[in-house]
Amino acid sequence: MYKFRLYVAGDALNSAQALANLAALCRAHLPDQHEIDVVDVFREPQRALADGIFLTPTLVKLAPLPTRRIVGTLSQTGVVLQALGLAAVAV
Amino acid sequence: MSPQNSSPAGDVNAEAAALIEALHEAAQRLEELTAGEVDTVADRHGRMMLLRRAQDHMRHSEAAKQAAILNALPAHIALLDRQGVIVSVNETWQRFAKASVIQAPQYGIGLNYLDICDRAEGEGEGAAEAHQIAAGIRSVLNGELKHFSLEYPYHTPTEQCWFLLTVTPLRPDDHLTGVLAMHVDITERKRLEELYLQAQKLESLGTLAGGIAHDFNNILAAIRGNADLAAADLGANHIASESLAEIRKACERASELVRRLMAFGRPKGIQHRAVDLGAVVSEVLKLLRSTLPAGISLTKNFAKDTPHVLADAGQVHEVIVNLTTNAAYAIGPRAGSIVYRLESVRVSEEFARSIPGLNAGDYARLTVTDSGSGIDADSLGRIFDAFYTTKPVGEGTGLGLSMVHGTMRSRDGAITVENTLGKGASFALYFPAAQERAQAEQAAAPVQYDHAAGQRVLYVDDEEALVFLASRVLSRQGHQISGFTDPEKALEAFRAHPQDFDLVVTDLSMPQMSGLDLARGVLAVRPDIPVLMTTGYIRAEDEGNARAAGIRELILKPTTMDELGHVLDRLFRNSQPRG
């Protein structure tokens, strides 16, 4: 099971795109084997700061280990898949 | 190097710490892959911005929540700043301001509330309260009081209301920024409090009435008994006999009043039984007659075939009393009449549909018609509402007709009103007919008054006049009486010569020793002797206690000595087979 946490800045444009891209990516590559937790840094700023999130949107892959961070709209699918260790699956 | 750059050791450390943090951040940034545009870059300054935006966001949603709560509260709320200026008000305040007093733009926002209260001074009633309110708010603002609250009356053109003001300091960051003044409408609570007090007054009046009635009964028995004796001594042809007959009549009326007073003092439970409505109405009218102005005539018009109804006689009493007092109030000081008409009616389906709560069937209909002022159209729609009254403050609770209405509805009955303004009102009460007939009130048994003379009676009552009277009356009837006002002495006398007595008559409540204890003492010595106990007021537990003690009979204190003679006669006869 892939566990993701996506830090977003309210409903700002790039954050919304990141969420849409992540959802599409999971549907295509990880059907029924993913969980997404969305954290709004405006609602939970202390949590974002404690987690060391200084840029939004930031995606954190929590499981499987190792954890990885990717910032941005997640529009560069190749970079994302590679970072998540899914490149082999995609190719 | 400029002098400013010569840093002390502490500054060097701080700089080092900042550098380490920056390096740490840079390292973390390197770890992060970038896959597209970002919204927020949070460097040190950015982090501050992030926090501030988050705080703003929270504050906004918090403020919206608070405003929603304040608006939902059914209280008039105003926020005042430290000078007492109205900064903001809730929707309830706005509605109130629109409808009435504060004829200021913006519901008074921007005005100084303290000034408004101060200005009220000298403008008639309410000024004193306004002054108190201003003083209270000032005390909270300058920290003398933690909170301030005040219940105050408020007069609208149509009614008097009550409000509860509470003033609470506002300290969002531990600094006083102003106060929250909240006015809650407590009119209903105040009315209920008044009613509760009224009910308590009535209750204590009932207890008092019961107590007075008890003593008064004894006095009446003495007056009546002595009048009887005097009449017997003087004979029917004596010039004083007419006066004595008047005394007896007056005593009878007084006894009747006392009986009712005692009924008033007794707590009652609701008992639905077949009731002869005509008899109950007649009884109530007898009682009411003496309380109504002589100029008001009460007329009964009862049809003979009226069915009995299933009801609680006590409730019917209250219903008639309420309707009659209202009728008398409507007639006022003029001469007038109240007519009570009782008849049997069959309610048709069609008629039943026109009156809520009424079903088709057989009913006894009691109509109470007065020649008073009638009810105006405005009041007519509200007469059955609780607390609605047209009487001045202190004269009516506004509960009378609503109680009547409630009673009739709970009885599967109904009440209707016909009204001609200026000519009077007519209330028709529909009581469903009972299947069975009311049992006739236990009539006094037609005992043959034939004294079994020569009996020896121990008579004990703490009322000296009664002992004296009983001694005289019973002696005349040929009995031998030993009268005592002190039960202890009576018991002593009995123990000394138990065989010298054929019967013991004792009062129940006496200060030194109760009649029950006396009876137990007597029966311990002679279990066969008949003991009769008299009391002004029989409670349920008294009957049980008397039976357990072996008392032959417990009776209401006879109001005449003749009655006592009858009872004794019966007891002697019943006890003879034993002897």
Mutation target vs A (from B23, B30, B33, B43; most A CBs, 10 A cutoff) = B33
| Residue with more model confidence, B288 or B272 | B288
DSSP B23-82: HHHHHHHHHSEE-S--SEE-SHHHHHHHHHHHHHHHHHHHHHHHHHHHHHSSEEEEEEET
Task: End-to-end CA distance of chain B: give it in Å, rounded.
Answer: 138
> Over pLDDT 90: what percentage of chain B?
17
- A interface with B, Cβ–Cβ < 8 A, is 8-10, 12-15, 17-18, 21, 41-45, 48-49, 52-58, 68-76, 79-80, 83
Range among B8-17, B478-487, B528-537 with highest mean pLDDT value? B478-487
Q: In whole angstroms, what is the distance from residue B141 CA to residue B10 CA?
A: 45
| Inter-chain contacts counted by CB atoms under 8 A, chains A and B | 92
Entry field: residues in chain A:
91
Contact B47, A42 (CB under 8 A): no
- pLDDT for res B308: 87
CA distances for B340 relative to B297, B320, B324, B355, B411, angstroms: 11, 10, 10, 21, 20
The Cα–Cα gap between A37 and A47 comes to 13
Three-class SS state of B293: coil
- Tell me which residue in A17, A55, A74 faces B42 most closely, judged by beta carbons: A55
pLDDT for residue B358: 79
Which of B59-63, B146-150, B545-549 is the most confident on average? B146-150
3-state secondary structure of B460: strand
Asked whether the predicted pLDDT for residue B351 surpasses 90, the reply is no
For B30-82, the pLDDT digits (tens) are 556 777 777 766 555 555 566 666 667 667 777 788 888 888 888 999 999 99
Chain A residues with CB under 8 Å of B37 CB are: 14, 17, 72-73, 75
pLDDT in tens, B437-476: 655 443 333 333 344 567 899 999 988 888 888 888 888 8
pLDDT in tens, A33-63: 889 999 888 777 777 777 777 778 888 888 8
Q: What are phi and psi of B189, to 5 degrees?
A: -60, -40
- Three-state DSSP at B381 gives coil
List, in order, residues 6 or more apart from B308 with CB less than 8 Å away: B274, B275, B276, B277, B364, B433, B434, B436, B437, B438
Determine whether A83 is exposed, middle or buried from the number of CB atoms within 10 Å of its CB (0-12, 13-18, 19+).
buried
**Nearest-CA distance A33 → chain B (Å):** 22
pLDDT given for residue B446 in this prediction: 34
- DSSP label of B366: E
Distances (CA, A) of B502 to B122, B373, B375, B546: 82, 65, 66, 19
Burial pattern A35-68, b for ≥16 Cβ within 10 A else e, equals eeeebbbbeebeebbebebbbbbbbbbeeeeeeb
Indicate the average pLDDT of chain B.
78
First to last CA, chain A: 20
Q: With beta carbons less than 8 A apart as the criterion, state whether A84 and A28 touch.
A: no
User: What mean pLDDT is predicted for residues B495-508?
Assistant: 91
Task: Please tell me the distance in Å from B13's CA to the nearest CA on chain A.
Answer: 23
Q: Do B40 and A18 touch (CB under 8 A)?
A: no
Contact B165, B182 (CB under 8 A): yes
Which residues make beta-bridge pairs with B179?
B80, B169
Chain B's closest residue to A8, CA to CA, is: B39
Q: Which residue of A has its CA nearest to B46?
A: A54
Q: What is the arithmetic mean of pLDDT over B150-155?
A: 87
Query: Is B103 a residue whose pLDDT tops 70?
Result: no
Tens-digit pLDDT profile for residues B295-317? 888 999 998 888 888 877 777 87
On chain B, the residues whose CB falls within 8 A of the CB of A80 are 33, 35
Residues B134 and B118: beta-carbon distance below 8 Å: yes
CA distance to partner chain B, nearest, from residue A36 (Å): 18
Q: Do A56 and B39 touch (CB under 8 A)?
A: yes
**In angstroms, rounded to a whole number, what is the distance separating the alpha carbons of residues B339 and B301?**
7
In the three-class reduction of DSSP (H, G, I as helix; E, B as strand; rest coil), residue B213 is classed as helix
Which comes out higher in pLDDT, residue A13 or B261? Answer: A13
| ∠ CA B367-B372-B375, rounded to 5° | 80
Predicted local confidence at residue B506, as pLDDT: 92
ipTM score of the complex? 0.73
| Average pLDDT for B507-521 | 88
Tokens 């008047």, residue located: B246
Instruction: Count CA atoms within 13 Å of residue B431 on its CB side.
Output: 31
B95-99 CB contacts, 8 Å cutoff, 24+ apart: none
Residue B401 has pLDDT above 70, yes or no: no
Write phi, then psi, for B94 (nearest 5 degrees): -60, -45
